[in-house]
Amino acid sequence: MAFLTKHAAIVSLSLAASLLVGCNANNTSPEQAKVDNAQVTAPSYDLNQLIRQVQLNDEQQYQDSTQFTPLKHHKTLVNYVEQMALDLVDTMQSEQDIAIAVTSFVDLDASLNNSSQLGNQLSESFIHQLQQFGYGVVDFKTTDQILVNERGDFVFSRDIENLANKRIASHVLSGTLIYRSSGVEVNTRVIDVQSKRVIASSQKVLPYYVLKNDDINLKRASIN
């Protein structure tokens, strides 16, 4: 009998505790509910910050795509010069009986007097390509005499006093270099010396990975 009484008391206490919890839950005030809801509200975000982050991600993806470097390629500077020479030849077909002087390509800056290894190498490559297409190319750096000394035998010079005084070219080929994010933009033109008329032009972008593969230095050339 004592055991049943003790068991009934425990059951009564459990029911009482359950009723108290239920009453507390049902008696929660609206103000308390608002506080509880505020505590679980999702954090707010700065819209301008999110937009800026998206823009930065897009800029990074664009930069990565423009600076793409293939693991293996066979492109060289000569390949691009061949393409540009073809562009020039397509518009010079009626002008084949001309004498073209090829000068150094220069950086597109305020002076237009700054060249580089790339600028000089482009001019040398165009001399070969134009001659291959049958155009008359003159090298104005050739002197009237061969200079012989202990260092060797020389026929080229950049000293104006050693060069021909008369005009030997009817046209000149040159161009400008613009440094873009993905490579160097080369703008080439053939100009009539007398009228200054552009008779042919071409434009190509030389990827940096091609120039790197050819060990071409983009720093300004130092010509003595």
User: Do 115 and 146 share a domain, yes or no?
Assistant: yes
Cβ neighbours of residue 141 closer than 8 Å, sequence gap 6 or more: 156, 157, 158, 163
Per-residue model confidence as pLDDT tens digits over 12-69: 544 444 544 454 545 555 555 554 555 555 555 566 777 677 767 765 654 554 455 5
Per-residue model confidence as pLDDT tens digits over 134-165: 899 988 888 878 889 889 998 888 877 776 77
Query: DSSP string covering 57-105, please?
Result: HHHHHHHHHHT---SS----HHHHHHHHHHHHHHH-GGG-S-EEEE---
| Angle, helix 117-132 to helix 77-91, in steps of 10 degrees | 50
Residue 90: inside a domain: yes
User: Do 30 and 101 share a domain, yes or no?
Assistant: no
| Amino acid letter, residue 71 | L
What DSSP designation does 221 have? P
User: Do 104 and 209 share a domain, yes or no?
Assistant: yes
**Kindly report the CA angle at 103 between 97 and 109, in degrees rounded to 5?**
130
Residue 196: inside a domain: yes
Domain count of the fold of the chain: 2
Return d(Cα 171, Cα 178) in angstroms, integer: 23
Residue 221: inside a domain: no
State the residue range of the domain holding 35. Answer: 2-66
User: Do 170 and 208 share a domain, yes or no?
Assistant: yes
CATH code of the domain in which 180 resides: 3.40.50.10610
User: Do 50 and 85 share a domain, yes or no?
Assistant: no
3-state SS string for 29-57: CHHHHHHHHHHCCCCCCCHHHHHHHHHHH
The upper half-sphere exposure of residue 66, i.e. CA atoms within 13 Å in the direction of its Cβ, equals 14
- Give me the residue label for tokens 């046209």: 171
Examine the pLDDT at 187 and tell me if it is beyond 60: yes
Tell me the average pLDDT of the chain: 76
In degrees and rounded to multiples of 5, residue 134 shows phi and psi of 90, 10
User: Do 152 and 207 share a domain, yes or no?
Assistant: yes
- Of the candidates 66, 86, 109, which is a domain's last residue? 66
User: Do 38 and 147 share a domain, yes or no?
Assistant: no
User: Do 62 and 155 share a domain, yes or no?
Assistant: no
User: Do 168 and 199 share a domain, yes or no?
Assistant: yes
pTM over 0.85: no
User: Do 131 and 209 share a domain, yes or no?
Assistant: yes
8, 16, 58, 140 from 13: Cα distances, Å: 9, 5, 66, 114
Per-residue model confidence as pLDDT tens digits over 60-118: 654 554 455 555 556 888 999 999 999 999 888 666 678 999 999 999 999 999 989 99
User: Do 199 and 104 share a domain, yes or no?
Assistant: yes
- Of the candidates 66, 87, 116, which is a domain's last residue? 66
- Of the candidates 66, 85, 108, which is a domain's last residue? 66
Examine the pLDDT at 181 and tell me if it is beyond 50: yes
